[in-house]
Amino acid sequence: MKAVIQRVSKASVTINNNTTANIQQGVLVLLGIEDSDTIQDIEWLSRKINNLRIFNDEKGVMNHSLIDTNGDAIIVSQFTLHASTKKGNRPSYIKAAKPDVAIPMYEAFVKQFETDLGKPVQTGEFGADMKVDLLNDGPVTIIIDTKNKE
């Protein structure tokens, strides 16, 4: 499971000219799922993101987590995070999980994230053509791959 976490001042998701998600301070999480991902990956990644100290304290030091700041989150499924670009110029997505695996894993991740954060989060729509708009704050962008957690 791979995640790109962006600290944002605001973010939104639009599908077919309809805004389906909209937050202020918090994180935008782009989530890539592969077949070998497990519930343990979901639990670990959710806790890790919710507890990342990427928000400034009163001294301007990144010392607070999403939980500490009561920030909001948008979670968007993005299979292209598993692109392989080793050969040629057309990326291969062979490692990305197919929808029958990815959708339940994505939904389980969202539920786990809400439990860990202690409030609902907003999402994109799996498989939809989404327009994601964000104002990256910092900029702060963190990439996490659960295959590198140990």
78 tagged catalytic: yes
pLDDT digits (tens, 9 = 90+) for 59-106: 999 999 999 999 999 999 999 999 999 999 999 999 999 999 999 999
- The CATH number of residue 52's host domain is 3.50.80.10
79 tagged catalytic: yes
Q: For the CA atoms of the chain, what is the radius of gyration?
A: 15
Following DSSP, what letter does each residue of 100-124 receive, concatenated?
Answer: HHHHHHHHHHHHHHHHHHTS--EE-
- Residue 11 · residue 140 · CB < 8 Å: no
Mean pLDDT of all residues belonging to the chain: 96
What's the number of domains the chain is made of?
1
Rounded CA separation 106/4 (Å): 14
Which residue among 55, 79, 109, 113 is the active-site one?
79
- Domain that residue 17 falls in: 2-148
Which residue among 78, 112, 122, 123 is the active-site one?
78
Three-state DSSP state, 65: coil
Q: How confident is the model at residue 149 (pLDDT cuts 50, 70, 90)?
A: confident
Which residue among 19, 80, 115, 141 is the active-site one?
80
pLDDT digits (tens, 9 = 90+) for 123-142: 999 999 999 999 999 999 99
